[in-house]
Amino acid sequence: MHFEPSEEQRLIEQAARQFAAEVLRPKAAERDQKSLFPEEELRKLGELGLLGVNVPEQYGGSQAGVVAYSLALSQIAQADASVSVAMAVTNMVAEVICAFGTEEQKQKYVPRLCSGDAVAGAFALSEPQSGSDAASLKTVAEKVDGGYRLTGSKQWITSGDRAGVIVVWARTDAGAPVDKRNQAAGLSAFLVEAGTPGLVAGRPEHKLGLKGSTTVPLTLDGCFVPDSARLSKEGDGFRIAMVALDGGRIGIASQAVGIGRAALLAAKDYSKERKQFDKALCDFQAIANMLADAGTQLDAAQLLALRAAFLKESGQPFSQKAAMAKLYASEAAGRICDMALQVHGGYGYTQEFPVERYLRDVRVSRIYEGTSEIQRVVIARSVLKEFSDHAS
C-alpha cells in the first residue's frame, strides 16, 4: 500500500477541501441550528463529481477510486458532517446500482445520482424492529402481474424524504415456511423512485446531531414497482446489503476522521489563544498530552480508513479491515471531540464555538452502518478464523 496519494487523489481531496472551506463551513452552524437540508450544496457536490467518486465515468462518476472517496469525504465532514452523510449515502447507492444493476438501471439512475439531479440517494434497510439483525426484516414484496407490491415500514432512513431513488429491501418469500436458520435467503432489493404511489415519508426525527441531514421513517402501502425495479435476482438482497454496508463502513470511518480533525484543530487553536495563569493553555503539560493523544489517534484512524479503502479499490478482501476502521475511527473521534470540548472549558458547552456540534454529530458514527458492538462481532469472527488457520 502506498501512503502518498496519487496526483488524481490529491486533486479530488483538494477540490473537496476548497468546497468545504468556501461553501460549507461558513453556513454549517446555521444549517445545524435551523435543521436546513443542504439541497443546493448537494447539487454543487454533484457538479464537482463528489457524488460519484468511485463510479465509472460512463455513468457520470469521477472514477477516481475508493481512496480518493475516503479523502474527499473526510474533507467534507470536517466542515459539515450533515452534508457528508448525504454525500456518503448517495455515493453508496450509486455504487450499489453499478455493482448489481442492469445496464438499463445504471443508465436510468446513476447519472442522476452523480450529477445531483436526484438530490440524494437513500438506503432503506432498517425497520422499527430490525436494525443490526437485517435478516429479520418484515417488509413484504408480493409478486403481482408486471411487478411487485411493497408493504411495510422502514426506519432511520437518511435523506428518505429527499432522495430521488431509494434502495428498498423486502421479503419475497413471505408465503414460504419460516426458516429461522436462513431468514436472509428470502430478501430482495428494489429501486423505488420518489413520488411512487404508496411510498410515504414520515416526520423527520428530532436528533441529537446531524441536524442538517434528514432522517425519516418510510411507509410502503402496497407500493407498486415494475419487475425492472428489482435489483439483481430474487433472494439476492442480503448479499447486496452486506456488500454495501462493508463499503459504507469505510465512508463512516472517513467521516469520523473528518469530524475528529475539525475538533482537534479547534482545540489546538483555542489552546494557543486562551491564557490562564499568564500562559497559553497549550503550555500546560496536561493540555499538551491531550493534544498529543488526539493527534496520534487521529492518524491511526485515518490510516485504518485508507487501508480499507485501498483494499477495496484493489479488489482484495476488505470486510474485516473496514469493520476495524469504522470501529476505531468512530470511537477515537468521539474521544477527540470530547477532549476538544474539555479544552474549551465552559465556552465549549455553548454554541459560540463549534466543538459542541462536533461532539453531537460524531456520536451517531458508533451506531449507524453497524454499531460498535456489531463491528466487534465481525472482527472477532475474522480474528478467530485467522488464528485457527495459523494453528492448523
Which residues does the annotation mark as catalytic? 369
Place of cell 487501508: 307
| C-alpha dist (Å) from residue 21 to 17, 28, 77, 94, 128 | 6, 10, 11, 26, 37
β-bridge pairing 121-124 and 165-171: parallel
Q: Select from 315, 306, 311, 169 the least CA-distant residue to 251.
A: 306
In residues, how long is the chain? Answer: 392
Count Cβ atoms below 10 Å from residue 280 Cβ, excluding itself. Answer: 14
Angle between helices 319-344 and 372-391 (to 10 degrees): 130
Separation of first and last alpha carbons in the chain: 29
Pairwise CA distance, residues 137 & 127, whole Å: 7
Q: In degrees, to the nearest 5, what angle opens at C-alpha 245 toward C-alphas 265 and 155?
A: 95
